Structure 1
Amino acid sequence: MGIWETLGLDPKVHRLTALVGGGGKSSTMYAMARQAMDLGLRVVVTTTTHILPHPKLPLTGDPAALPALLAEHRVVTLGTYDARGKLTGAGDPATCLAVADVVLIEADGAKLRPLKAPADHEPVIPPACDAVIASAGLDCVGKPVEEICHRPERVCALLGVSPDHRITPADVASILSSPLGGRKSVGQAMAFRCLLNKADDDQQRAWGEEIKTLLAQQGIDSTITYYTEEERGGLCLF
């Protein structure tokens, strides 16, 4: 079973999909891009925030160049470099659907932290999105908010806890399901899924199962994932 099926999404239906949260966005985005490519689909990978470019994918900052690049390579990154050497968006992701079968958007940043609550300006989800995936790394469980979370002050406010509070599975479920957390800016027509990543051992998988049950009680579908060192960031996929 591929990552699309695991998430309960269909690349031919959920053509414009955004990824938010922390702990697994890039790895999942590239796994989705690879599977879509293997299905014969043309894929644009882009961002509405900032991402590191994939070293093996062709890159363009000109949406007009996409048709020729997609015809040759099938998966193309759309973005332009900023002063820090990261990519920012180039053009409206929704318009990319005129030339691509699937558009995958990293729509949030977490500075490599596994859990976050968004700031006022985050995430940047295009209103035309068909689906949103909110991710969290299971390695956050048992760690203090101030140590493990991105925007810890937002996490504390959302949960009503102090900075030294240690994250529980219930906390992760609360953050992912909250309209002030993982569900922020997700429209009613958008499919919403949660990704519980970094199930590296039996304990973390058990935490994942507990979070999955809590989310299911709210009618939210989620999946537990793990990426090997080679798979992280999608480096071995292209």
Structure 2
Amino acid sequence: MENIPHAGVLFFDLNVTVGPLLISAVGAGGKTSTLLWLARVLQQAGRRVLLTTTTHMFLPRHLPVTFCRDPLALPAEVWQSPLQACFSAWLPNVGKVKGFTPAQLDALLAAGNVDVVLVEADGAHGFAIKAPNEHEPCIPLSCCCVVAITGAGMLGKALGPATVHRWPFFSRITGSSEGDRLNWPMLHRLIQHPQGAFKGTPPGCRRIWLLNQLSQNENLQEGDLLTGGAVDVIWAGSVQENQAITRRRVRK
């Protein structure tokens, strides 16, 4: 993997050239943090960025937030903000916000009110790793890039219902049993399987695998990242650090 000197290469990875664009985050181990990091990078590059979800998520801090039933019904001046979040409702019983349907976000993108829509399109209930069940994830058809996130801090740790979200699905996809310790072959199967990490990705979408919460001292071997062509780009790092992505690999 190559070291990442600056954030400019991320624009190539995301295929961010002209807008409007919709980018979805799925998986577990830092979806909201990843989207907040991407939002800052894109906003600093002069893009008008909207953060939202097709499921439920914790209310992002330090962002202006709008609640509405239909974002297309909002007045034009709302969209002048360079960085904001928009949701359909606050759910006090779970302490989260509710987002919009994929169809609503497809229509918003087509209207061109913002340059980039960042979507949390999956849930993980605070776990660092998961496999999707039948109704997950919830990715809009207009999505141009899916970032599948894995909590790399789980490597070497015991697997089971207490540590993995949707454990029965994860076990079936990866061939792991309760008590096994997470290893690279299991992660490869999760990434490559059609019902795995990139399940529901629209045709033609760019696929990025993010190994989040990975120590800079982690000794990654070339074979650790052989995904059989299942992804376009691999990012490794920790999105809450100053240098979020420390290593990167692009499919040749």
Which bin holds the TM-score, normalised by the shorter protein?
Answer: 0.7 to 0.9
Number of residue pairs matched? 227
* 1:230 Cα offset (Å): 8.5
2:84 pairs with 1:76:
yes
8 Å contact kept, 1:197–1:225: yes
3-state DSSP class of the match of 1:171? Answer: helix
Alignment counterpart, residue 153 of structure 2, candidates 123, 130, 139 = 139
1:150 partner SS: coil
- For each residue in 1:14-49, what CA deviation from the matched residue of structure 2 results, as whole angstroms up to 9, or x when unmatched? 711111001121111111111111111111111011
Q: Please state how far the C-alpha of 1:210 moved relative to its aligned partner.
A: 4.5
Aligned-partner SS, 1:154? helix
Q: What is the CA distance between 1:10 and its match in structure 2?
A: 3.1
| SS in structure 1 at match of 2:56 | coil
Matching of residue 52 in structure 1 with residue 61 in structure 2: no
Taking the aligned partners of 1:9 and 1:229, their CA distance within structure 2 comes to 20
2:217 is aligned to 202
Amino acid at match of 2:39: A
Q: CA deviation at 1:70?
A: 3.0
Q: Superposition pairs for residues 1-238 of structure 1, below 5 Å?
A: 1-2=6-7, 5=10, 8-13=13-18, 15-62=21-68, 63=71, 64-65=73-74, 67-71=76-80, 73-79=81-87, 80-82=89-91, 83-90=93-100, 92-97=104-109, 98=111, 99-146=113-160, 147-203=162-218, 205-206=219-220, 210-212=223-225, 214-215=226-227, 217-218=228-229, 220=231, 221-228=233-240
Q: Specify every segment of 5 or more residues in structure 2 that has no aligned partner in the other structure, as ranges.
A: 1-5, 245-252
CA contact (8 A) 2:26 2:147 kept: yes
SS in structure 2 of the partner of residue 56 of structure 1: coil
Letter in 2 for 1:186: T
Cα pair distance change 1:195/1:138, threshold 3 Å: same
TM-score normalised over the length of structure 1: 0.86
Q: Secondary structure at the match of 1:136?
A: strand
- Contact 2:216 2:237 (C-alpha < 8 Å) held by counterparts: no
Equivalent-residue separation in structure 1 for 2:8 and 2:164 (angstroms): 26
What CA distance in whole angstroms lies between the structure 2 residues aligned with 1:37 and 1:151?
34
Do the aligned partners of residues 28 and 210 (structure 1) sit closer, same or farther apart at CA in structure 2, a change above 3 Å counting?
A: farther
Q: What is the distance in 2 between the residues matched to 1:127 and 1:169?
A: 31
Partner amino acid for 1:89? G
Deviation at 1:201, TM superposition (A): 4.6
TM-score, normalised to structure 2, is 0.81
Gaps of 5+ in 1: 233-238
Letter in 2 for 1:224: A
